[in-house]
Amino acid sequence: RTSPHMKARCLTWAFPGAVCAAVIAVATLAPTRAAAQGGVSLAPHRAVYDLSLAAARGGSGVGAVAGRIAYELTGSACEGYTQVMRFVTRMTNQSGGVVLSDMRSNTWEAGDAKRFRFDSTQLQDERLAEATAGDASRRSVTEDAKVDLTKPAKKSVTIAPRTYFPMEHAVALIAAAKEGKTSFRANFYDGSAKGEKVYDTRAAIGKEQPPTDRKLADAKGADRLKAVRGWPVSIAFFEPNGDRGDALPVYELAYVMLENGVSKNLYIDYGGFALKGDLREITFLPPSKCDRK
């Protein structure tokens, strides 16, 4: 599904939250979005995840992976959400060769999902491999969005109506879980693939995990999470119009999605190999000025 030289993408996870980040009932898009913002409150936070190789399948050539994700979410629905992420991996192939990958991303998204700005760079062995930046805007979520790209080249792209931006997607996925839904499908745009691609995402939502008093092992600052309920979520990212029964996803992301927007127990499957991400440290940040009024 991909080559061993992976390109990290943001969901967000929001990320997530998820990692990249970053989710959805397209048929009832407008009312779902309005209800989602009213019923979901995301906690501004900074989180660090340790990455390691979870699986390497035949032909991938991957021998070992070590890395880290640093993710920060600030803002709110009234002032917009800012996500900053760095995704660094050191991949060793079966011949002993090493590839260092460093993806850096900064995005801002309006709380009403009418505006989305993104800027990301991908370094390979400390050399620039890809850079993407742009500004997407639309008058409403039921109309086309115009994307003005400045990197890798100046270009205008049109995104079809009823396409979710990352934070909009994350809020809607939490809302769907709270409503007891078990699946969620939506078109998704995060500015990846040179800012020109919309993914068909399909999410499966597992049974609610009630708040627990058990602490997250070795996760600094995670005491506040022990009383937050969550849901196991798996999201598959497909090429557009991939409705064939035999279509394989470009990649898959699984994690435990907490009600406050924090993610844990990450699992990123690129086909030939998969990574797991363990929450190592989390710091909760002050609420936005809007929320304090």
**Can you give the pLDDT at residue 282?**
96
Read off the pLDDT band of 58 (50, 70, 90): confident
153: exposed, middle or buried (Cβ count in 10 Å: 0-12, 13-18, 19+): exposed
- Give the amino acid at 222: A
DSSP secondary structure code for residue 224 in this structure: G
DSSP secondary structure code for residue 193 in this structure: G
**Can you give the pLDDT at residue 75?**
95
**Can you give the pLDDT at residue 216?**
62
Enter the tokens of residue 58. 């035949």
pLDDT tens-digit map of 87-124: 999 999 888 999 999 999 999 999 999 999 999 999 99
pLDDT tops 50 at residue 73: yes
**Can you give the pLDDT at residue 10?**
34
Over residues 238-265, the mean pLDDT reads: 85
pLDDT tops 50 at residue 193: yes
**Other beta carbons less than 10 A from residue 160's beta carbon:** 12
By mean pLDDT, which of 53-67, 177-191, 279-293 is the weakest?
279-293
- The better pLDDT of the pair 171, 245 is held by 171
**Can you give the pLDDT at residue 244?**
58
Q: How far apart are CA 148 and CA 140, in angstroms?
A: 17
- The better pLDDT of the pair 215, 36 is held by 215
pLDDT tens-digit map of 34-57: 334 548 999 999 999 999 999 998
**Can you give the pLDDT at residue 39?**
83
**Can you give the pLDDT at residue 292?**
61
For residue 178, give the H/E element and its range: helix 166-178
**Other beta carbons less than 10 A from residue 293's beta carbon:** 6
pLDDT tens-digit map of 158-178: 999 999 999 999 999 999 999
DSSP secondary structure code for residue 96 in this structure: S
Cβ atoms 11, 166 nearer than 8 A: yes
Read off the pLDDT band of 213 (50, 70, 90): low
Question: From the centroid of its chain, how far is CA 141?
Answer: 20
Collapse the DSSP code of 66 into the 3-class scheme (helix H, G, I; strand E, B; otherwise coil) and give the result. Answer: strand
- On the CB side of 271, CA atoms within 13 Å amount to 17
